[in-house]
Amino acid sequence: IAEGAEILSSIGEAETRPNKPWPLLHTTSHDTRVLCVAFSPDVCYLAAGDERGCVKIYDVEGGCRVLHTASHATWVRCVAFSPDARLLAASHFNGCITLYDAEGGWRILHTASHDACVNSVAFSPDARFLVAGDGGDKGGCIKLYDVKGGWHVLHSASHDACVWSATFSPDARFLVAGDGDGKGGCIKLYDVQGRWGVVHTALH
């Protein structure tokens, strides 16, 4: 049995035995704090980003050995795989987004820049779009990128506070973004199929 399958099997067994501790399967080290981690949908890869700007790709089924390491100038804030596991997006403290080709030796396919730290990136379930949320003391913004159409920006929307998280609904009909500062926060629900209008706002 492949090691990746053994990992999933162990997790399943732990879920059915809640009173017993989960076995530690693997430990790996970075030189500094790891800020974000993500599995690929097929559980073949694990991506990790740290505060020195390093992105590491691990081979889950191959003993979690390092397949690729990429260095960037600033913190890696978020990593996310596309639903087909072909692409990996990483966002950075300096406002940069880096897109890696999982099938092409993890080469960089595309880069994009924001005016503030990009805290969140997420692919739509159909892999057509990538949403990125940024922000700082003066507010935030979400940008929607056309994954299959040259990576141009399809839509941009401003928020009154820093955007910390953004993701798509499972049916790709809606996009939700969460923002906030020291005074409170807000979530906005966007209609993906209806020209990206805000269909609901909720305060926190």
List CB contacts of 196: < 8 A, sequence separation 6 or more: 144, 154, 155, 157, 175, 190
CA 143 to the chain's CA centroid:
14
**Which sign, positive or negative, has the C-alpha torsion 78, 39, 144, 203?**
negative
pLDDT score recorded for residue 1:
43
Interval 51-64 mean pLDDT: 87
The residue assigned the tokens 């880069």 is: 111
Tell me the residue type at 110: H
List CB contacts of 36: < 8 A, sequence separation 6 or more: 48, 49, 76, 77, 78, 79
Tens-place pLDDT, residues 36-48: 999 999 998 999 9
Helix (DSSP H) and strand (DSSP E) numbers for the chain: 1, 16
The pair of three-digit structure tokens given for residue 96, joined into one six-digit string: 């940069």
The pair of three-digit structure tokens given for residue 154, joined into one six-digit string: 């399809």
Cα distance between residue 78 and residue 10, in whole Å = 27
Residue 173: pLDDT above 50?
yes
% of the chain exceeding 70 in pLDDT: 85
Which of 51, 57, 64, 15 minimizes the C-alpha distance to 38?
57
Look at residue 185 and give its three-state secondary structure. strand
pTM to 2 decimal places: 0.80
Interval 179-196 mean pLDDT: 84
pLDDT score recorded for residue 24:
63
